[in-house]
Amino acid sequence: MSVIRLENVGFTYQKGMPDEKTAVSEVSLTFKEGSFVGVIGHTGSGKSTLIQMLNGLIKPTAGSVFIDDEDIWSDTSKLRDKRFKVGLVLQYPEYQLFEETVKKDIAFGPRNLGLSEEEIEERIIEAAGYLHLSPELLERSPFDLSGGEKRRAAIAGVLAMRPDVLVLDEPTAGLDPKGRKDILEVIDNYHRKENKTIILVSHSMDDVARYADTVLVMNSGKVMYYDTVEEVFKHSSELRETGLNIPTVTDILLTLNERGIGVDTDIYTVEKAADTITAAVKREVHI
Amino acid sequence: MREYIDFYEEGIVSSLIKFDNVSFSYGKNSVLQDIDLSVEKGEFLAVLGYNGSGKSTMAKLINGILVPSSGKVYVDGMDTSDEKNLSEIRKKAGMVFQNPDNQIVATIVEEDVAFAPENLGLDPKEIRTRVDDAIKAVGLEKHIKDAPHKLSGGQKQRVAIAGVLAMRPMCIILDEPTAMLDPKGRSLVMNVINRLNRENGITVVLITHFMEEAVLADRIIVLANGKIAMEGTPRTIFSEKDKVTSLGLEVPPVTELAIKLSENGIKVSKDIIRPEELIEAITALKEDIH
């Protein structure tokens, strides 16, 4: 199991040029083993740049990234091995499908790990199982699939690497509600069964509240909050000021509270919101 | 031209967009079947449906990027399958797509917005007025001289909308315009769309996967398997949670909450679609007693 630690990490695009732009600065934090971290922040807050540094896809211009207490850039000959521990699913990953069949596409990563054919087959079956890709679908060309299927095929390719940490950048963007839910359930299931670390970048506070245990809020390239879901969503007014929102139901509960209805406000899911409102109404109205 | 006249004679010209028994297939692949639909002038229509249900095809049929395999699509009475009508149809019905980066052609915001009116060969003064009006309508006055690539996704998408507005269209068709935006960008773009419809009377056809956006519409149609599976006001559509879910969609979180409360015996209506309504309903319960 791998732990990722960032120490004073920064990244400046076009460093030293007149149009240099700092995307990330002074980020120090640890992604704990087995945690499910939701990363939020508006466009340009540095989220995508940050996560691309987690597996060495880009090299920080300041500070260090440690995987299992080893600075991944200290010995670049080892970078490849480190990189395999952190699977990165970029935005619109289906654009990176390229093989003749879905199966070959999923096999690409494991083959690069130097695994035997049996092991590769095993990895394909496992990843396809998680992503609900049928044996028939595995034989098809990735280009014949629907949008949601392509997305799942692309994620399967990363899962087949059995990464200790799975990082996903807005994996549900552009999908319909069912497609969104399917992908999130897959990630949640993988997290529960394998106890792997998940880092999920999302614009949906409702999704983050439902699935994550920890929230990282990025603002202007820096860490604004990094704490449990409960602690972070307590800062509703600060979050709103930076252009973020809070889960719909939390917003409703806060307003009800302002209007003198005694509901709990540290609630982020529909089920629990219904419970607290029901309790408050029965207490304050029917008695 | 003949058909245009027929339409007036038949008295159905108040429909700005009309699908008359429209089917469309890519080769053997049938995408839309027997669609009948009218969109009235000034209406705000949301089109929902899972990925691959035919939504984008429908949008492309409206402004003649695609023509029906059978049946007819009319825009303001003009047949989209008649090539002579196309330039007029595209002036009346402008399109905005999902990815703003694919729609911006110039290096300065105002030049991008001016691109289409310049191609119409309009008088420079007229172009200036249209560009200024369009940029104002989307709230980007401060960015008129900026380079589009330096703008955020939401701002770029508003530039794309301004580019369409500069054509002075009767109708805007937006194909998932907020899919790639963050919550703030999404809400600013939706505010612009809503205002163009309510204040400027522009007909809006909005294709979206976000139920909170569909709630703003006058009417929703849900596509499934190339057909119109549901049609009605947002309230009637979202009151049928089971059906909506079975079509790969969801109801807004506030509706889900209202349904749960109602099941818990709290007297709130199950067809609540906006957070304010639920807050009012619950506050009213309390005030009734006191």
Q: How many CB atoms lie within 10 A of CB A75?
A: 10
pLDDT for res A284: 80
3 state SS of B88: helix
CB proximity list for A77: less than 8 A, separation 6 or greater: none
Q: Report how far residue B196's alpha carbon sits from residue A272's, in angstroms, rounded to the nearest whole number.
A: 38
At A1, the pLDDT band (50, 70, 90 cuts) reads low
- Rounded (10°) CA dihedral B95, B100, B101, B107: 80
Hey, is the C-beta of A16 within 8 angstroms of any chain B C-beta? no
Per-residue model confidence (pLDDT) at position B2: 40
Which residue, among B157, B125, B151, B112, has the nearest Cα to B138 in the 3D structure?
A: B157
Residue A256 parent element (H or E): helix A248-258
B114 φ, ψ to 5°?
A: -80, -10
- pLDDT greater than 60 at residue B8: no
CB contact under 8 A, B51 and A278: no
> What pLDDT, in 10s, does the model give residues A13-55?
988 888 888 999 999 999 999 999 999 998 889 999 999 999 8
Chain centre distance of CA B224:
18
* CB pair distance less than 8 Å for B253 and A249: yes
Reported as a pLDDT band with limits 50, 70 and 90, residue B7 is very low
Q: CB-based burial of residue A192 (10 Å sphere; 0-12 exposed, 13-18 middle, 19+ buried)?
A: exposed
Residues of A with CB below 8 A from B238's CB? Answer: none
CB A167 within 8 A of CB A54: yes
Chain B residues in contact with A251 by the CB 8 A cut-off are 275
What is chain A's mean pLDDT, rounded? Answer: 91
**H or E stretch covering A275:** helix A270-284
B242 and B256 in contact (C-beta within 8 Å)? Answer: no
Report d(CA A107, CA A99) in Å as an integer.
Answer: 10
CA distance B74 to chain A (A): 29
Confidence of residue A77 (pLDDT cuts 50, 70, 90): confident
Q: How far apart are CA B238 and CA A155, in angstroms?
A: 32
Chain A to chain B, count of Cβ pairs less than 8 Å apart?
Answer: 112
* Contact yes or no for A179 and B51 at CB 8 A: yes
| CA distances, A115 to each of A111, A112, A119, A160, B249 (Å) | 6, 8, 6, 11, 41
Q: Does A116 touch chain B (CB under 8 A)?
A: no
Query: In the structure, what pLDDT confidence band is assigned to residue B288 with cuts at 50, 70 and 90?
Result: low
The verdict on ipTM greater than 0.85 is no
Pick from A174, A245, A247: CB nearest B179: A174
Nearest by CB to B253, from A180, A206, A281: name it.
Answer: A206
Note the pLDDT of residue B285.
86
Q: Answer yes or no: do B181 and A43 touch at CB < 8 A.
A: yes
Q: Which residues of A touch B286 (CB under 8 A)?
A: 260-261, 281, 284-285
Q: Is the pLDDT of residue B149 over 50?
A: yes
Sign, CA torsion A47/A49/A50/A52: positive
Cβ density class B53-62: b for 16+ within 10 Å, e for less: bbbbbbbbbb
Q: Which residue has the tokens 């398997």?
A: B225
**pLDDT for the residue B9:** 46
Interchain CB distance below 8 Å, B179 and A261 = no
Buried b (16+ CB within 10 A) or exposed e, A57-72: ebebbbbbbbbeebeb
- Give just the sign of the alpha carbon dihedral B231, B233, B236, B239: positive
Residues A177, B249: C-beta atoms closer than 8 Å: yes
Q: Enumerate residues 6+ apart whose C-beta is below 8 A from A164.
A: A1, A2, A85, A86, A196, A197
- Residues B255 and B273 sit within 8 Å (Cβ to Cβ): yes
Give the chain A residue nearest B290 (alpha carbons): A285
Task: Establish if A279 touches chain B: CB-CB under 8 angstroms.
Answer: no
Structure tokens at B157: 């998408």
Residue B289 pLDDT greater than 70, yes or no = no
CA dist list (Å): B30 to A254, B104, B185: 48, 32, 35
A66-105 residues touching B, CB cutoff 8 A: none
The predicted pLDDT at position B88 comes to 92
Sign, CA torsion A139/A143/A149/A154: positive
Start-to-end Cα distance in chain A? 54
SS3 of chain A: helix, strand, coil, percent, to 5: 45, 20, 35
**CB-facing half-sphere around the CA of B92: CA atoms within 13 A:** 19
Contacts 24+ apart (CB under 8 A), B243-247: B247/B49, B247/B50, B247/B222
pLDDT of the residue at B1 = 38
Mean pLDDT for A72-77 is 88
Do residues A41 and A218 lie in contact, with contact meaning Cβ atoms separated by under 8 Å?
A: yes
User: Residue B27 has what pLDDT?
Assistant: 85
Does A19 contact chain B (CB < 8 Å)? no
pLDDT digits (tens, 9 = 90+) for B113-145: 999 888 888 899 999 999 999 999 898 999 999
Contact residues, A window 196-215, toward B, CB-based 8 Å cutoff = 203, 205-206
- A83 contacts: CB under 8 Å, gap ≥ 6: A55, A56, A57, A72
Segment A247-270, tens digit of pLDDT: 899 999 999 999 989 999 988 889
> How far is B254 from chain A, CA to nearest CA, in Å?
7
Q: What is the mean pLDDT of chain B?
A: 90
**What do you get for the CA distance between the two ends of chain B, in Å?**
67
pLDDT value, residue B290: 54
Whether the CB of A259 is below 8 Å from some CB of chain B: the reply is: yes
DSSP structure class, residue A58: S
Rank B11-15, B164-168, B190-194, B228-232 by mean pLDDT and report only the highest: B228-232
In this complex, which of A147, A244, A285 lies closest to B285 when CB atoms are compared?
A285
- Distance from C-alpha of B80 to C-alpha of B62, rounded to nearest angstrom: 7
Q: Which of A69-73, A257-261, B198-202, B283-287 has the lowest mean pLDDT?
A: B283-287
Nearest CA in chain B to A287: B289
Sign of the dihedral through C-alpha A130, A131, A135, A138: negative
3-state secondary structure of B42: coil
Angstrom distance (rounded) from CA A176 to CA A3: 33
Q: Where are chain A's structural domains?
A: 1-89+197-229, 247-287
Beta bridge partners of A200: A38, A168
Query: Taking CB atoms and an 8 Å limit, are A174 and B176 in contact across chains?
Result: yes
Choose among B125, B102, B100: nearest CA to B114.
Answer: B125
Question: Which residues of chain B have a Cβ shorter than 8 Å from any chain A Cβ?
Answer: 49-52, 98, 152-154, 176, 179-186, 209, 211, 248-250, 252-254, 256-257, 260-261, 264-266, 275, 278-279, 282-283, 285-286, 288-289
Q: Determine the distance in angstroms separating the CA of B141 from the nearest CA of chain A, rounded to an integer.
A: 20
Strand partners for A7 = A64
CATH number 3.40.50.720 given to A1-89+197-229 = no
Position B101 scores a pLDDT of: 82
Two tokens, residue A66:
């440690």
Interchain CB distance below 8 Å, A243 and B285: no
Q: Which of A148, A243, A252 sits opposite B254 (nearest CB)?
A: A252
How far is B225 from B56, CA to CA, in rounded Å? 13
How far is residue A285 from each of residues B260, B270, B279, measured CA to CA in Å?
A: 18, 19, 15
CA A87, CA A75: separation in Å to the nearest integer?
A: 20
Residue B4's pLDDT band, with cuts at 50, 70 and 90, is very low
Check CB contact under 8 Å for A176 and B152.
Answer: no
| Model pLDDT for residues B233-264, shown as the tens digit of each residue | 999 999 999 999 999 999 999 999 999 999 99
